[in-house]
């Protein structure tokens, strides 16, 4: 009997592994009087890394996995928001643009195509990432 191919879901279209789409881990904890839900990214969606590097994201020091695109690092920091954003993950849509500090100026980068590097300062995010 022929088994129909699995229908592609929205997460497949944005470059997340099937494990992320099927196995979202949600942590429920109390914060004040409401329940806060947070997704944890599965490690297999990242390029291999040995350590976390420090970047500055909108004025805050954050630790992200080395050897990964800026977009993947943003997903590391906020799996739910980035996984649900309407992005191509392949350099076509340009909706993943971020701006980094470069001397006295800002420089635009396509975050799915540029790796995060130690000390990088991201000063602005595109609307799709906020
Ligand atoms: S996600 Fe579309 S260009 Fe980066």
The Cα-based distances of 4 to 1, 17, 79 in angstroms read 10, 20, 30
The Cα-based distances of 32 to 28, 29, 36, 37, 99 in angstroms read 13, 10, 9, 13, 34
For the chain, the average pLDDT equals: 79
Rounded to 5 degrees, φ, ψ at 13 are -75, -15
Architecture, CATH, for domain 10-129: Roll (3.10)
Residue with tokens 């949600």: 26
Query: What is the distance in A from the centroid of ligand 1 to the CA of 85?
Result: 10
Confidence label for 64 from pLDDT (cuts 50, 70 and 90): very high
Residues forming a β-bridge with 40: 25
According to the model, what pLDDT value does residue 90 have?
A: 96
According to the model, what pLDDT value does residue 22 have?
A: 33
Q: Which residues line ligand 1 (CB under 6 A)?
A: 87-89, 91-96, 110, 112
pTM score of the predicted model: 0.72
Residue 112 Cα: closest atom of ligand 1: 4
């Amino acid at each position: 009997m022929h088994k129909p191919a699995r229908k592609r879901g929205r997460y497949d279209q944005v470059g997340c592994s099937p494990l992320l789409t099927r196995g979202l881990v949600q942590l429920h904890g109390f914060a004040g009087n409401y329940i806060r839900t947070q997704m944890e990214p599965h490690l297999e969606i990242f390029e291999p890394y040995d350590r976390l590097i420090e970047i500055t994201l909108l004025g805050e020091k954050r630790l992200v996995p080395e050897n990964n695109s800026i977009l993947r690092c943003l997903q590391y920091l906020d799996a739910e928001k980035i996984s649900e954003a309407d992005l191509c993950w392949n350099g076509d849509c340009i909706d993943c643009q971020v701006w980094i500090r470069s001397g006295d100026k800002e420089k635009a980068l396509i975050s799915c195509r540029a790796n995060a590097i130690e000390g990088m300062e991201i000063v602005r995010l595109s609307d799709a990432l906020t």
